[in-house]
Amino acid sequence: MNYSRIIGTGSYLPERKVTNAELATWVETNDEWIVERTGIRARHLAAPEQTTCDLATIAAQRALAMANCTAKEIDLIIVGTTTPDMIYPSTACLLQARLGNHGATAFDVQAVCSGFIYALSIADKFIKTGSAKRALVVGAEIYSRILDWKDRSTCVLFGDGAGACVLEASDTPGILSTHLHADGAYHHLLNVPGTVAQGRLQNGDGFTKMQGSEVFKFAVNVLSEVVEEALAYNQLDRTAIDWLIPHQANIRIITATAKRLKFPMEKVIVTVPEQGNTSAASVPLALDIAVRDGRIQRGQTLILEGVGGGFTWGAVVMRY
Ligand code: UT7
């Protein structure tokens, strides 16, 4: 049992879909600008009473159903999220309680938009070393709650959602390699600066701050580097890859990265136009959609990649 392998995927988008036209009634923007600069046409927003754990629970239940596995059979739960329900306990523990699992290892990973890539990589290592047999790995966000809806340079970009997968120990691949990186020297380019002390937010507010064009250049550079690193590590030519599943931040970042990697866009899974950037949820959402619509088939080779605040970035190569 030297590998971990995905045996089920699931995802969930909140019911409410907000188009660019509706957004333009809240803040000074327009459909043409948003589509031209980002490719985004709509995003889903959670209802006021919904929590990140609610979104994660539905995605997880769908992944467990596809895996034909009960929550009790899971011995590791990792949730990648930037928008946990509480300061503590972790959203992974809340999800565990909701699913009726008792005793599994459960924790959150904070790597912002790379959260799922980090979580998947950690779960793979738990399984490879024999510390877990079946892992539930989730990326879930209600990112809309850390957006300043008066700041048009950020609020048009993001959306809410959740994606999940069940990973199982296997004799055959499975995940071939994972590649994680971070450079905290760039923390100032993308952050939510506030901290909680004396019972309230201090040292800044709770809204996303971003230096957009710097983030854009940084993202294209590190994503193409980490995909090259992953290909070289596995001695794989890019033609051996059936699908690239990128973090869905902006269609221009996706196409610029694919171009630099000489990857045809027909082999890239794209969900950003209808979902916006769902942070840690974007990669597992794209994975689940392409699995369920039949594009991703068993035996195909996939590269998943992501980049987020920190900065953090990474890639996972797998045989599906
Ligand atoms: O997971 C990573 C998350 N972050 C990202 O993916 C963001 C990466 N960065 C980007 O995607 C792009 O930098 C943006 C889409 C955020 C911005 O595109 P840009 O081509 O870098 O535009 P800009 O920030 O240079 O702004 C150009 C103009 C400005 O007007 P002036 O100063 O030229 O008159 C902005 O005020 O566009 C204006 N602008 C807008 N106009 C209409 C900024 N936001 C908007 C908006 N609607 N929503």
Read off the pLDDT band of 287 (50, 70, 90): very high
**Helix locations, 20-114, DSSP H:** 20-23, 31-38, 52-67, 91-99
The answer to whether residues 137 and 13 belong to one domain is yes
Name the residue of 34, 40, 82, 213 whose CB sits within 8 Å of the most ligand 1 atoms, as the mutation to test its pocket: 213
Active-site pick, 53, 113, 155, 165: 113
The answer to whether residues 35 and 92 belong to one domain is yes
Domain boundary (171, 190, 208) is at 171
Given the CA of residue 213, which atom of ligand 1 is nearest to it?
A: 13
CA 45 to centroid of ligand 1, rounded, Å? 21
Read off the pLDDT band of 295 (50, 70, 90): very high
The answer to whether residues 250 and 157 belong to one domain is no
Annotation marks residue 93 as catalytic? no
Could you tell me which of 209, 68, 67 has the C-alpha nearest to residue 146?
209
Q: If you ran DSSP here, which 8-state letter would residue 281 be given?
A: G
The answer to whether residues 111 and 11 belong to one domain is yes
d(CA 268, CA 234): 20
d(CA 135, CA 93): 14
Give the closest residue (by CA) to ligand 1 atom 16.
212
Domain that holds residue 303: 176-319
| pLDDT tens-digit series, residues 170-207 | 999 999 999 999 999 999 999 999 999 999 999 999 99
Domain boundary (144, 171, 198) is at 171
The answer to whether residues 32 and 72 belong to one domain is yes
Domain boundary (140, 171, 202) is at 171
Q: Which helix (H) or strand (E) holds 254?
A: helix 251-260
Give the closest residue (by CA) to ligand 1 atom 21.
213
Locate 2 and state its tokens. 């030297």
Confidence at residue 68, expressed as pLDDT on a 0 to 100 scale: 98
The answer to whether residues 196 and 278 belong to one domain is yes
The answer to whether residues 147 and 70 belong to one domain is yes
The answer to whether residues 37 and 152 belong to one domain is yes
| pLDDT tens-digit series, residues 200-230 | 999 999 999 999 999 999 999 999 999 999 9
Annotation marks residue 113 as catalytic? yes
Annotation marks residue 277 as catalytic? yes
Whether 291 and 206 have beta carbons less than 8 Å apart is answered as: no
Q: What is the average pLDDT value for the chain, to the nearest integer?
A: 97
**How many CA within 13 A on the CB side of residue 238?**
16
Whether 156 and 164 have beta carbons less than 8 Å apart is answered as: no
Q: Please name the residues in contact with 236: beta carbons below 8 A apart, sequence gap of 6 or more.
A: 301, 317
The answer to whether residues 219 and 81 belong to one domain is no
The answer to whether residues 155 and 263 belong to one domain is no
Could you tell me which of 58, 61, 93 has the C-alpha nearest to residue 77?
93
In angstroms, how far is CA 225 from the centroid of its own chain?
Answer: 19
Query: Structurally, how many domains does the chain consist of?
Result: 2
Confidence at residue 215, expressed as pLDDT on a 0 to 100 scale: 97
Tokens 């004396």 belong to residue? 198
The answer to whether residues 199 and 166 belong to one domain is no
Locate 21 and state its tokens. 């036209």
Given the CA of residue 156, which atom of ligand 1 is nearest to it?
A: 48
Q: What is the percent of the chain where pLDDT is above 90?
A: 99
The answer to whether residues 259 and 197 belong to one domain is yes
Residues forming beta bridges with residue 5, ordered by sequence position: 168
pTM greater than the 0.95 cutoff: yes
* CATH number, domain with residue 154: 3.40.47.10
